[in-house]
Amino acid sequence: MAMTGVLRPGIVQLRVLDMEAALKHYADHVGLDVVSRGEDGRVYLKAWDEFDRHSVVLREADHAGMDLFAFKVDSEASLDRFEKRIEDFGLAVDHVPAGQQPGVGRRLGVVIASGHRIELYHAIEPAEEHPEIHNPYIWRQAPHGMGAIRMDHGLLYGPNIEQVLAFFTGALDFQLTEKVDTPDGLLGIWMSCSNKAHDIAFVKHAEPGKFHHLAFYLEDWNAVGHAADLMIRHDVPIDIGPTRHGITRGQTIYFFDPSGNRNEVFAGSYHFYPDEPVRCWDHTEIGRGIFYYQKVLNDRFLTVVT
């Protein structure tokens, strides 16, 4: 599949309440590598199979949640093209200069109808410890903790998801892969800019700008089980799992960082191609759609957001 334009999720910035506790969680437990610390206190991390300098930024704040979710595009020309398309869509674009994050070029920012800040960028320095490219071993250094392979996707909660869908598909060329319908309209949307089942998802929620979870990709179901063992050993609060999704078919555990931000480790799923139909779920089957084995939603999954 030829991928152009928006390539993939690239950088997410999370707010945490205690940086040292957050680092123990994301570095020691999830298995990310600490790349650098900024003079402003932000910490930059990456997963072992990522080529770019960083993918996760932690910022200490007085309340948890997400500052921004950024996607990498294929060229500077595409960045200019998307700026015009976003403005033609009717949203204001702001500019973040190169170097505001170390090693990252200029970024475009937009606040979408759900209240979330979405950014686009192209230029980023390669990681010093990136996967080998000449006669490569599977990994350069043995993965640690849960062995997160990459920052994979996010689920965001907010209003106006019909407008959000129109923005991602109309301005950024994402495709809708799955949706949940109710008699009152859309409840949830899963969208892809690649051939993954989803790169970002949204669920309808009254409060704008809410963060539900950040997902890290693992190798397989055995790795998900290993992650569960680590969570029990280190008293990481588990929301639900190990289990499986009907929507996306992913194998999953949901859990919380020390600040209350929800994480997911995720494996499996299906490959999506642009000629495939949208998979549609009725709201009456949402329990099986989200938690395939349990067939019901737990209250935390619907109500706990940051």
Residues designated catalytic = 153, 198, 213, 245, 254, 264
Question: How far apart, in whole angstroms, are the C-alpha atoms of residue 204 and residue 180?
Answer: 10
Give the list of residues 6+ apart from residue 237 with CB closer than 8 angstroms, or none: 255, 256
d(CA 228, CA 152): 18
Walk across the sheet containing 94-96 and list its strands.
33-37, 43-46, 56-60, 6-16, 65-73, 117-121, 107-111, 94-96
The pair of three-digit structure tokens given for residue 65, joined into one six-digit string? 């949640």
The answer to whether the beta carbons of residues 256 and 65 sit under 8 Å apart is no
Task: Please state, in angstroms and as integers, the Cα–Cα distance from residue 157 to each residue in 15, 70, 145, 213, following that order.
Answer: 16, 16, 29, 9
Of 103, 8, 11, 6, residue with least CA distance to 66: 11
How far is Cα 127 from Cα 137, in angstroms, rounded to an integer? 17
Closest CA to 267 of 287, 288, 285, 241: 241
Give the number of other CB atoms < 10 A from CB of residue 242.
18
